[in-house]
Structure 1
Amino acid sequence: MLAHEPAIRLGASLGLLILLLALERLIPWRRDRPLGIRRWPGNVGLAVAGALLLRALMPAAAIGAAFWAEARGIGLLPALGAPGWLAVPLSVILLDLLIYWQHRVTHAVPLLWRLHRVHHADPELDATSALRFHPLEILLSMALKAAAVVALGAPPVAVLAFEVLLNGTALFNHAAIRLPPRLERALRLVLVTPDMHRTHHSEVPAETDSCFGFCLPWWDRLFGSYRAAPAAGAGVVIGIANWREAGRQGFFALLAQPFRRG
C-alpha cells in the first residue's frame, strides 16, 4: 500500500473533490455565486504548482521522512517503545495538533500571513478553496511536517493516513454544502464541519482569527479559538475586502499576491 502512496492520496482527493462538487449542486449552501467556476483555474493552478514545487525540492515529502526515521530508529515514539496500535493513532492526533498551531502562527506572523492570505482572499467558498494555497506556503508546511514526523518517529502508515485525512477533511469543510442541522451538530463533535470553518473565512478579523482546525475540532475548544458561528449567520461575507475583485483571482495574480500591498 505504501509503495502506491502518491496514487492513493491523489485518487482519494480527486474522488472526494468530484463528489463534493456534485453535492454543492444538490444541497448548496448558497446559490448566489457571482464568480463560481471562474475561480477554479486559479485555485487548481496553485495546487498543481505546489505539487510540482514539492516534487522538485522534496520528492519524498513527509512519508519519505517517516521511512528515513523508521530505518534509523529515530524519534520519540520508538524511543518510548510505543507499540504500533498506539503509535499510529497518536501520530495522527499529534500531527493534527501541529497543523492547528501552524495555522495559528500563519495568522500571527505578518510575513507568513502574506502567503496564507492567498487562501483567505477567495471571495467565495467551495471545495476548490481547499486547494488554494500559495506554493511557498505548501513547501514550508511540508518541511515542518517532515521535521515533526522525524522528531516523533511517526510510522509511515500513520503519515499516509494523516495526509489522506487532512486533504479529505479540508475539502469537506470548505465545501459549499448545507448539512441538516442535527447532522452538522453531531459531526462537529469529531470533525471540523463546513459551518464551523466558514466562520474562519469571515471578513470580520476576530472571526478570521478563530476556528483554526482543519480536521479535529477539539483544539479550538481547548485553546480558546472556537466560535460556534459568525455573527452574521448565513449572511457572513467571505474573503478579504481588498482582494475580492475578479481580476485578482487568476493564477498569476494569486502567485504574485504575497508580494503586493492591499
Structure 2
Amino acid sequence: MNGLLRNVLRFGTMISAAALMSSALPGCGGGDGDGGTSGGGSQGEGKNTYVLVHGAFVGGWAWDKVVPLLEAGGNEVIALDLPAHGEDETPLASASLQAYTDAVVAAIDGASRPVVLVGHSMGGIVVTQAAEQRPDKVKTLVYLTAFLMKDGQSLNEEWADDQGAEIKAYAVPSDDGTSLSFKEGWAENAFCQDCSPEDIERLESHLREEPAKPFGEPIHVTEEGWGSVPRVYIEALKDLAISPAEQKSQYTALPCERVISIDAGHAPFLTKPQEVADALTSL
C-alpha cells in the first residue's frame, strides 16, 4: 500500500448507517423544509461508503462529530486530510488542486464500493475534480455549503463576486502570495458565528496557513464525467463565508437533484452534526 493511500485510509472507520435511497429525487427549486432531518437513514438497508472532504483552514478532524452519528451498521467512512492540511505534512508549495484531487481519488479507489462523496466549502472544487476522474465510482456527489462551479472557473473568480462573504475581510495573504491566514476574530465572527466557545477554541488551535495556489486554479469537467454523477446541495442559511445568496446562485446555475437546507453558519458539521448526518442518510 502506498504512503498516500495509507494516510487516507488511516482516518477510515468501518461504520454503519442507513443506505441512501436510490429513488428519483426532486429538482432544485428550493430547500427541504425539515433540513434533511426526517430520519430516512434510520430505516434504510444496505451499506455505503462515505468519503468526507473538508474545506480550507481545517482538516479531516472537522468531521469528528458527524462520523460517530453515521456509525450504525457496517458502512465505511473515510475522512481524510488533504495535502498540507490537518496532520498531513505536505509542504505548502506542493499543495495544488491536482494534489488534493489525487488524495481523494486514492480514497475512492481504496473503497470497497462506489462512494457518497461529500465536499465542504473549498472541498467542493476537489470533489468536483475527483468525480470527473472517477464518475463510475461515485454514487452521489454532495456539496455541503461548498463551491459548485462550471468548467473553467476558479474558486477565486467565483468568490470575488460574493458580497455576503464576510470572512473575506479576515483573510490575509502572505507577503509572497503563496498562502493565506486569518486576522483575530475570524472564527467567531465569520467562519462559525454560531459555534460554541469550545468549538471556536478547537478551530483556532488547528489553524494552519492555507495554500493559496488551489484557489486560483480552474476546474475542468465534462458532462460525460462529473456531469453524469447525481449531485445534491446542502445549503447553510446563516453562512458568512459563502453567503446563502451565493450558494443559491451556484445550485441554480448547475441544478442538483435535491437541495437540503440547514439553519447554520459555515460549519454545520460542528454546530448541527445530527442534521448533517441525517441529510446524508436521507438521500
Larger Rg: 1
TM-score tier (shorter): under 0.3
Higher strand share: 2
Higher helix share: 1
Q: TM-score, normalised by structure 2?
A: 0.25
